[in-house]
Amino acid sequence: METIPLSERLIFALDLPSPEDAKGWVERLKDQVRFFKVGFELFLAGGFPMVEWIQARDAKVFLDLKFFDVPATVQRAVAQVARHGVTFTTVHGNDRILEAAVRAKGSVKILAVTALTSLDEGDLKDLGFQCSVEDLVLSRARRAMALGCDGLISSGLEVPRLRRELGSGSILVAPGIRPMANVDDQKRTVTPRQAFASGADHIVVGRPIRDAADPEAAAQKILDEIAEGLRQRSQATDPKNS
């Protein structure tokens, strides 16, 4: 298992409308979190200067733009991202799109989107997919890794099977993490402990920290759950325990 600092296992989602708001959260959580997700909303407001501001504070950036366009356009877009020292970026699409992203990635790690955590099987049927969420995720995951992607974005529910099928060479990042049962637009969720016990490398968390009465305490609780999940995972894979 790769040695990743606990402060980088938790990726805080800066799903915020302005760079000022985002900077406030980076400063607020700087003692606990060293990895931040910049998505569409914040990137449109702050662009690469926002990314560079985070990096200047010795933190990593996951630029979550889910590139999905003609392959040549995706290749040029990923090349732009690679020039800015971003750690992860996301790509969504067919084999040719993923191949184009891989060609341009440089040092940035490409995470293929499998199925959004806001979708369930009913949503997939509406989109024309005649298979289970799990089968769709596994099929896309196998293709993405064969094409040279570095890892996957996937619900924690699919992490156990992905880790078994793909082994330790793939980065698994789980969004839609909920410390407790929350009712919101995420339909396929697990707890931080469950995600890491079953093989996740990183989790993405936003609202459970941002909306908490004490965000720092909420972040620490999640870090504690991550540590417990990693301990369970280590014990399960230790030959001395078999």
Check residue 118 and report its DSSP letter: T
DSSP per-residue letters across 15-84: --SSHHHHHHHHHHTTTT--EEEE-HHHHHHHHHHHHHHHHTTT-EEEEEEEE-S-HHHHHHHHHHHHTT
59 labelled as ligand-binding?
Answer: no
78 labelled as ligand-binding?
Answer: no
193 labelled as ligand-binding?
Answer: no
Q: Which of 21, 23, 66, 123 is catalytic?
A: 66
Whether residue 66 lies in the annotated active site: yes
Whether residue 69 lies in the annotated active site: yes
65 labelled as ligand-binding?
Answer: yes
215 labelled as ligand-binding?
Answer: no
Query: What is the C-alpha to C-alpha distance for residues 156 and 147, in angstroms, rounded to an integer?
Result: 23
192 labelled as ligand-binding?
Answer: no
207 labelled as ligand-binding?
Answer: yes
Q: Which residue has the tokens 């909306």?
A: 211
β-bridge partners, 173: 153, 202
22 labelled as ligand-binding?
Answer: no
Q: Which of 60, 64, 105, 150 is catalytic?
A: 64
Residues 171 and 151 sit within 8 Å (Cβ to Cβ): yes
Whether residue 95 lies in the annotated active site: no
69 labelled as ligand-binding?
Answer: yes
Q: Is 88 helix (H, G, I), strand (E, B) or coil?
A: strand
Q: Which of 21, 23, 69, 221 is catalytic?
A: 69
Q: Is 202 helix (H, G, I), strand (E, B) or coil?
A: strand
Check residue 103 and report its DSSP letter: H
71 labelled as ligand-binding?
Answer: yes
Cite the active site residues: 64, 66, 69
Detail the residues annotated as belonging to a binding site. Answer: 15, 37, 64-73, 117, 178, 186, 206-207
Detail the residues annotated as belonging to a binding site for substrate. Answer: 15, 37, 64-73, 117, 178, 186, 206-207
